[in-house]
Amino acid sequence: MTIGSRRDRGSKTMRPQLLFWLLGGALVLSPTMALVCLKGYLIHVADRSKFPITWSVNLNETCQTGERCQETLILLESGNQIAVIISHGCTSAQAHEAKDIQHRAPPGVTIASLTKVCHSDLCNDLDSTVPLWTIEPTNPPAPGGLQCPACMSLHSCGPEAPLVTCPAGAAHCYSGSIRLLGGQLSHSLQVQGCVPHDDCQLLNGTRTIGPIALRERCQASGALTCYQGLFLYFGQNLREQPQNLVAESEVICEVGEVCQETVLFIESGPNGIILGSKGCISPESVSSSPNKIGPPGIIIASHTRLCDSNLCNNISSTASVVKPDPPADSAPGHLLCETCVTLGSYCFTGPPFTCPKGTSRCYEGTLLLSGGGFSSDLTIRGCAPPNPRDCKLLGEIQAFGPMNVSEDCRKPSWDQFYFNRVSATAAPAWAVGAGFLLVLWRDLPQF
């Protein structure tokens, strides 16, 4: 198992940490040279029959002056499933020998960790779960009378999770998630299994392990489970071509939060964009009222639904919320404008678009979206109806569901409009997942 590119250790040269010169009878010390550490992370879930697990790290990084190398290994076990969490990299923590801690002991779900901070090049070279892996006890614990679903997953623990007979002493079923932040990680691990007590204390007060912060949510409090995901589509004829809104991840909400699903559709001329968001939200913080601007000209429409049952934010397609407008007078006017809709500040435009009747100005502006999982500028150019007060499209609108929005509009540059066009051809809708560089997860509800 490989988690990253490590330079060949055989080529490593030893270098002194301090250099000394004797200048004019004085001893001068140079600054400590920066360490090179192995870098990488991994989250892996496997059946216990696959253990112990080994891996190799194929990346390294040069630390900041004063930093050291760290390695962190966490094992979570429920039933026959074990989650392995690994982090290698630089840290500002104090050096210490390898130490292992059992954060939750049997019966039921168990959690153990091993951490080390060292101060020589590539010293964070742990490559196996063996230091934390214990042989099955000769006399396994006697079974109790309770059965619970047992699951470890980065996606969801659904109804298909296998039932296990809990060991004696485990009297309750646990269902929750652990958010892992730091050490290059930003992931949620879903956990189900047997526990002795009916509470939300799977971590027994543990808040950090090495560079990784842990935040727990569980359903002992009756919190909802909601689908969580982001969706982005851009292209032409998006209203006539339904796009997928099925989320594969789930999240456990804070107490009092509800599930939300929001679709924002923007169209200018032939070009359009659809942004979708699913997750948890405080019902007092957002309005579910739809917004609609246009036609004629630029069309902006949003749909937000709040619901209060598990996994109720299950809309599967844009078909039910982004519908073609009924036939209208499509007679062209006499105004020509550039049209485009894009994330970011650079807007590709095609030949001037003949605006429909009812529009009298060319619009150019930027919407700053933040919230609901998005944090990005959205640039729009196109045809717009007259506005006697200012150049804005949105009026008093300040949010689309969980997405806060502010608008910066400006007059188009006519020289650029006529002499710096970029040709474009018709394009299909493109779907971009959470890895799209301009879409950040940092605004998702945090644990």
**Residuewise pLDDT in 10s, the chain (447 residues):** 656 433 333 333 333 333 323 333 343 444 468 999 999 999 999 999 999 999 999 999 999 999 999 999 999 999 999 999 999 999 999 999 999 999 998 899 999 999 999 999 999 999 999 998 765 555 667 777 899 999 999 887 877 888 999 999 998 998 888 989 999 898 889 999 999 987 788 998 899 999 999 988 876 556 788 899 999 998 888 888 889 999 988 888 877 789 999 999 999 998 999 999 999 998 888 878 888 888 889 999 999 999 988 889 999 999 888 877 665 555 677 889 999 999 887 787 778 899 998 898 999 999 999 988 888 899 999 999 988 778 889 988 999 999 999 999 876 544 333 333 332 333 344 444 433 333 333 333 333
3-class DSSP state of 207: coil
The pLDDT score that the predictor gives to residue 290 is 84
3-class DSSP state of 388: coil
DSSP 70-113: EEEEEEEEETTEEEEEEEEEEE-SPPEEEEEEEEEPSSSSEEEE
Alpha-carbon distances, residue 227 vs 63, 259, 350 (angstroms): 38, 8, 38
Rg (alpha carbons) of the chain, rounded to whole number: 28
3-class DSSP state of 22: strand
Residue (of 161, 188, 157) closest to 43 by Cα position: 188
The bridge status of strand 374-384 relative to strand 361-371 is antiparallel
What is the distance between the alpha carbons of residues 76 and 51, in angstroms, rounded to a whole number? 13
197 contacts 107 by C-beta, under 8 angstroms: no
300 contacts 292 by C-beta, under 8 angstroms: yes
End-to-end alpha carbon distance in the chain: 30
Say if pTM beats, i.e. exceeds, 0.75: no
**H/E element, 414:** helix 414-419
Residue (of 166, 309, 294) closest to 227 by Cα position: 309
The pLDDT score that the predictor gives to residue 328 is 54
Neighbours of 29 (CB within 10 A): 9
What is the distance between the alpha carbons of residues 210 and 86, in angstroms, rounded to a whole number? 11
Residue (of 55, 53, 54, 68) closest to 123 by Cα position: 68
Where on the phi/psi map is residue 71: left (φ > 0), alpha (ψ -120 to 50), or beta?
Answer: beta
3-class DSSP state of 392: coil
The pLDDT score that the predictor gives to residue 330 is 57
* Dihedral angle computed from the Cα positions of residues 7, 9, 11 and 13, in that order, rounded to the nearest 10 degrees: 110
What is the distance between the alpha carbons of residues 121 and 119, in angstroms, rounded to a whole number? 7
Residue (of 340, 341, 358) closest to 349 by Cα position: 340
Q: Where are the beta strands (DSSP E) in 150-298?
A: 151-153, 163-167, 172-182, 185-195, 208-209, 212-218, 225-236, 249-252, 258-268, 271-281, 291-293
Neighbours of 104 (CB within 10 A): 18
What is the distance between the alpha carbons of residues 330 and 152, in angstroms, rounded to a whole number? 55
Tokens read off for 140: 């396994």
355 contacts 335 by C-beta, under 8 angstroms: yes
Place of tokens 């796009």: 243
